[in-house]
Each structure stands twice: as structure tokens, then as C-alpha cells.
Structure 1
Amino acid sequence: MIRALVLVFCATTAVGAETQRDPEVLKHFVHQDCGSCHGMTLKGGLGPDIRVETLQHYDPDVLRGVILEGIPGTAMPPWRPLLSDPEVEWIVDYLLTGEE
């Protein structure tokens, strides 16, 4: 299931290049691709709630690591093959602050 989602994602989005993408593209990625497991409003689903108010206690480096490496033994995939460092930085900041 996760591999199918990743393949669909690769085929339909431009995220993953070496340069940072438009914030609207990254925001769409968070709400659609992350939201497919974390809920479309990010309040939780298969994955936990990832709204600003629930992530405030996370260290940005920890969150960055979870996004890049995934969580073994869970449905959280590693996004390292698809996201550049600037994209991950933008996503971490967006998840922790809610600001674009």
C-alpha cells in the first residue's frame, strides 16, 4: 500500500528535485500526501496528529529525521528519496509553526 502511494506520488508531483519548490506545492504535499495517513486535516488517522499544537514539543532535528528516515516497523515511510534538504526544512518549519 505505502509503495503504491509512493509510486503514485512520484508519477504525479514535482517534489524531489534538488531545489526548493514553491511553498504552495509543499503545502499541498503536506496536506495531501502526509494527510493520506495523518488525516486530511492533519488531526490523525493511520498516523498521529501532526498539527502545530501537537508538535510544539518536537525538536526540529527529530522531526527532520522522522521525515527523512521514516519509522521502521510502522507505516511512516522514509521520504529521503523524494524530498530535497530545503524541502524538508520547509516542511519541518511549516509543521512546527503553521507559517508558509
Structure 2
Amino acid sequence: MKLPPVFVHAMVLIGAALVAAYASAAELPDAQRQRELAHMVRQDCGSCHGLTLAGGLGPALTAEALAGKPADSLVATIYAGRPGTPMPPFRGIVSEAEVEWIVQQLLRGFPPDGGAAARAD
């Protein structure tokens, strides 16, 4: 029995969506890495965007300032930077999944800096 092409395409898309959803969930930074990322954003990003993320050389990164901005655009800006501006790429410093986590936190109101505690390896 040959399946209709529309059915096959629909199944492939559903499968791809499930794999993507599982991969995103599996790449969520652990609690220690989340603390490191929060410290990095507050210190490194804060050097341009203000230590309270309310703006400086770079625009504000508060939940209010980012409201309505597409998350994928914000991810792309952090990950790849903005050529011709002071915004550097963070590719190589953080993974794309970590950037997605950072963006979600920014859209909610970024957590305070708890410091970058040393790993207990």
C-alpha cells in the first residue's frame, strides 16, 4: 500500500517537530551553567547594556524593552552579533541552546547575578 505524499510529508514534519522539541529540552543548561550564564549576562553584557540591563551604550534588555520583539531575532543577534555595530558575536562562548535560555530569561525579566561559583568537579 502506497501512502499519499501529503500524509508522508505531514508525518515527516511532525517527527521533525518532536525531535526539535526533545533536543531543546535536552539542551537546557543545568543549574550551575544557568548561574554562570546569569553572571556573564549581568557582567559582560551589562558592560554595554548597563549592569541593571536598563541601557547604556547598547539598548535596554529589560522585559519591558524587549516586549514584542521576536525571540528568534534576539537569539540571532546574541549568537551572531551585529556587523557594523559594537555588538559582538557570542558564538563560541555560548551554545545556541544557551542563547535561547538567555533570551527566554530576558523576556521574563533577567534573574539577579548570584556570582559565578566554582564548579565542584
TM class by shorter-chain length? 0.7 to 0.9
Asked whether the equivalents of residues 51 and 95 of structure 1 are also in contact (C-alpha less than 8 Å), the reply is: yes
Q: Could you say what secondary structure the match of 2:77 adopts?
A: helix
76 and 92 in structure 1: CA distance in 2 versus 1, 3 angstrom threshold: same
Q: Percent identity?
A: 51
TM-score by structure 1 length?
Answer: 0.75
- Cα RMSD between the aligned structures? 1.8
Q: Does residue 48 in structure 1 map to residue 59 in structure 2?
A: yes
Q: Could you say what secondary structure the match of 2:98 adopts?
A: helix
Q: Could you say what secondary structure the match of 1:31 adopts?
A: helix
Asked whether the equivalents of residues 68 and 80 of structure 1 are also in contact (C-alpha less than 8 Å), the reply is: yes
Aligned residue-pair number: 83
What are structure 1's unaligned runs of at least 5 residues? 1-17
Q: Please name the residue that 2:76 is paired with.
A: 65
TM-score by structure 2 length?
Answer: 0.63
Asked whether the equivalents of residues 20 and 84 of structure 1 are also in contact (C-alpha less than 8 Å), the reply is: no
What are structure 2's unaligned runs of at least 5 residues? 1-26, 112-121
Runs of 4+ in 1 over 6 A off after TM superposition: none
Q: Distance in 1 between matches of 2:93 and 2:64?
A: 27
Asked whether the equivalents of residues 79 and 96 of structure 2 are also in contact (C-alpha less than 8 Å), the reply is: no
Q: Which among 41, 46, 50 is matched to residue 35 of structure 1?
A: 46
42 and 70 in structure 1: CA distance in 2 versus 1, 3 angstrom threshold: same
Q: Does residue 93 in structure 1 map to residue 104 in structure 2?
A: yes
